[in-house]
Amino acid sequence: MTETRPTLPACNQCERCGYRAAGRKPLCPRCGHVEMTSLETTPDGKILDFVPVTYPPENLKELGKYVSVLVKLENGCNVFGMMLEDPDLVEVGHSVRISKFDERSQALFFRLK
């Protein structure tokens, strides 16, 4: 069985300072330069930080408990996302893969590799 690759969020790199930012940015969040180059987004990365969310906000209540994660993708972009894993299984440095990207809400979901 082949794995279906989810749609991935955009990732851009500033032409001036090299800063990499997730999402479509009209200008660099670090230096304000207006020329950003699109990079190919990679589905794999490593957890930089995480926070278990026991009481989700109203708009995410249907998810139940989840883990909010900051992930450095293999292409160097840092992105925020969510994991529906047991928080006791999640650690900084763990390898993860994007499992779903909801284009409407811009919600990004990861799973452990």
pLDDT tens digits for 56-92?
Answer: 888 888 888 899 999 999 999 989 999 998 999 999 9
Q: Are 78 and 48 in contact (CB under 8 A)?
A: yes
Alpha-carbon distance 30 to 70, whole Å?
18
Domain boundary assignment for the chain: 11-112
Q: What is the pTM of this model?
A: 0.83
Dihedral in degrees, nearest 10, Cα atoms 55, 61, 62, 67? -40
Asked if residue 50 has pLDDT above 90, the reply is yes
Alpha-carbon distance 94 to 111, whole Å?
10
CATH number of the domain at 11-112, out of 2.40.40.20, 2.40.50.840, 3.30.2320.30, 3.40.1440.10? Answer: 2.40.50.840
90 alpha-carbon distance from chain centroid: 15
Q: Are 65 and 93 in contact (CB under 8 A)?
A: no
